[in-house]
């Protein structure tokens, strides 16, 4: 049975099953064939097996989604893969490639290449978004490090008054938490807009910054709620497993809690890793997005974990290559050299902080779109593998007779 929702039109608010005019009592059967119901005017029609599609498919216009919201998508080819040239489909033409990826199940190299290709070909939309977010985040981080860490150093000096030390620690922690909160907000906005840009790049459509903002803003509060829910869930899970050992001062129990919480959080992280693109592209709710991610990841957890881990390793190495040389030069030139490093003043020197911040801005501007792109393309790949989404994408891209067996 294929009960997955279709693509919602970016910018619309109705959630799954609430599209105006959508049938509310559509029967659900185990037949993998296309639904015989006709969508409302302006939506894509669903051909039945053996039926020749219309001679001219509607062209995808800016602002449109990838299919009718709440639709039923299946694969007329049967089996796991629904794409031309798949298993048992010898003699079929190669999969179409209207955008940055071919419309078939993707390999690791194609996912990484698609993420980089989108950043390269749509840099006018991608890089300004990440550059602005990275600059704001790093400026706030720089100020927090400069003043919060300076206060923290004074508070921990021998002979410091206890009350003054506690006040300094509170101010430092408040500044760091505030900077982290602003950084999280910036990351959420960037992720939302990048998701829309990558979704259009799959169809070969260009995007603008204003268009990405218009398409994503209706889901920003929900994306913030999703991020907050996942973060709180991880904190609560860690507290439940580690706090009992800390309260009883039992080192063994603390160690068991730490060893238990790491794999559990990792498992949940991958299980819900596709919730963000599901939330944005299907225009659904937070809990439905979590359910969609869980369903799409099921049975392929290790594959998605491997691709995600490799992506983080690659982007981490790229970021380190950019950031660390500038940080070392800044601490050596402006931080007093080894003496400043030993007494902790090198890390709070203005010159060292500015050079380190510039490196972090460059690194984040490059790394952020790659990470977001891999997540979006993993989501698309899983829907192609499980739900035959390649057929709907082909129609949305205006490709005629795609996926037909009758010629």
Span 195-199, mean pLDDT? Answer: 95
pLDDT at 54: 47
Domain membership of residue 401 (yes or no) is no
Q: What is the mean pLDDT of the chain?
A: 76
Distance CA 275, CA 326 (A): 36
pLDDT of 64 strictly over 90: no
Domain membership of residue 237 (yes or no) is yes
pLDDT of 320 strictly over 80: yes
pLDDT at 110: 95
177-188 pLDDT per residue, tens: 777 788 888 889
Domain membership of residue 243 (yes or no) is yes
pLDDT at 76: 38
pLDDT of 99 strictly over 70: yes
pLDDT of 342 strictly over 90: no
Radius of gyration (C-alpha) of the chain in whole angstroms: 25
124-171 pLDDT per residue, tens: 999 999 999 999 988 888 887 777 666 555 545 555 566 666 666 776
Domain count of the fold of the chain: 1
Say which range, 88-92, 125-129, 208-212, 332-336, has the weakest mean pLDDT.
88-92
Span 88-111, mean pLDDT? Answer: 80
Span 206-217, mean pLDDT? Answer: 93
Domain membership of residue 380 (yes or no) is yes
pLDDT at 148: 67
pLDDT of 93 strictly over 70: no
Q: How confident is the model at residue 20 (pLDDT cuts 50, 70, 90)?
A: very low
pLDDT at 293: 97
**Farthest-apart Cα atoms in the chain, separation:** 86
Residue 90: which region, alpha, beta or left (left: phi > 0; alpha: psi -120 to 50)? Answer: beta
Domain that holds residue 380: 113-387
Span 272-287, mean pLDDT? Answer: 96
E strands, 229-296, are none
pLDDT at 271: 97
Distance CA 379, CA 392 (A): 15
Domain membership of residue 343 (yes or no) is yes
pLDDT at 341: 63
pLDDT at 251: 87
pLDDT of 209 strictly over 80: yes
pLDDT of 391 strictly over 60: yes
Distance CA 18, CA 124 (A): 35
- Percent of the chain past pLDDT 90, that is, above it, reads 47
Domain membership of residue 36 (yes or no) is no
Q: How confident is the model at residue 119 (pLDDT cuts 50, 70, 90)?
A: very high
Domain membership of residue 83 (yes or no) is no
Q: For the CA atoms of 292, 280, 196, 10, what is the dihedral angle to 10 degrees?
A: 110
pLDDT of 8 strictly over 60: no
Structure token digits, residue 223: 């994306």
**Tokens 């998508």, located at residue:** 73
Q: Are 136 and 182 a contacting pair, CB within 8 Å? A: yes
pLDDT at 332: 79
Taking the CA of residue 240 as centre, how many other CA atoms within 13 Å lie in the half-sphere pointing to its CB? 11
Span 13-39, mean pLDDT? Answer: 38
pLDDT of 200 strictly over 50: yes
Domain membership of residue 103 (yes or no) is no
Span 360-372, mean pLDDT? Answer: 94
């Amino acid at each position: 049975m294929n009960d997955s929702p279709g693509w919602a039109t970016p910018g619309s608010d109705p959630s799954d099953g609430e599209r105006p005019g959508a049938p509310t009592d559509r029967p659900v059967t185990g037949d993998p064939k296309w639904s015989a119901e006709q969508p409302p005017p302006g939506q894509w029609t669903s051909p039945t097996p053996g039926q020749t599609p219309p001679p001219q498919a509607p062209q995808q216009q800016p602002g449109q989604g990838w299919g009718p919201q709440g639709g039923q998508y299946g694969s007329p080819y049967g089996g796991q893969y629904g794409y031309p040239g798949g298993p048992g489909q010898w003699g079929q033409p190669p999969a179409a490639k209207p955008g940055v990826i071919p419309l078939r199940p993707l390999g690791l190299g194609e996912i990484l290449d698609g993420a980089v290709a989108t950043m390269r070909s749509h840099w006018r939309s991608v890089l300004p978004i990440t550059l602005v977010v990275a600059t704001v985040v790093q400026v706030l981080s720089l100020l927090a490090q400069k003043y919060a860490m300076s206060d923290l150093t004074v508070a921990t000096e021998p002979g410091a008054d206890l009350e003054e030390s506690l006040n300094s620690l509170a101010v430092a922690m408040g500044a760091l938490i505030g900077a982290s909160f602003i950084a999280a907000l910036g990351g959420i906005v960037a992720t939302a807009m990048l998701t829309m840009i990558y979704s259009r790049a799959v169809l070969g459509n260009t995007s603008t910054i204003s268009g990405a903002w218009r398409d994503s803003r209706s889901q920003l509060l929900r994306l913030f709620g999703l991020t907050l829910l996942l973060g709180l869930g991880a904190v609560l899970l860690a507290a439940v497993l580690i706090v009992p050992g800390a309260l009883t001062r039992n080192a063994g129990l603390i160690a068991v809690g730490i060893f238990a919480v790491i794999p559990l959080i990792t498992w949940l992280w991958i299980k819900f890793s596709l919730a963000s693109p599901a939330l944005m592209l299907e225009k659904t709710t937070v809990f439905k997005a979590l359910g969609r991610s869980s369903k799409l990841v099921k049975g392929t957890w290790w594959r998605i974990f491997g691709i995600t881990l490799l992506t983080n390793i690659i982007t981490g190495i790229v970021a380190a290559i950019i950031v660390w040389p500038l940080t070392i030069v800044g601490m050596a030139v402006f931080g007093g050299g080894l003496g400043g490093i030993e007494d902790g003043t090198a890390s709070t020197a203005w010159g060292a902080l500015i050079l380190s911040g510039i490196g972090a801005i460059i690194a984040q501007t490059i790394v952020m779109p790659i990470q977001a792109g891999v997540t979006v393309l993993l989501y698309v790949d899983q829907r192609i593998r499980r739900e035959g989404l390649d057929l709907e994408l082909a129609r949305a891209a205006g490709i005629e007779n795609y996926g037909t067996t009758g010629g």
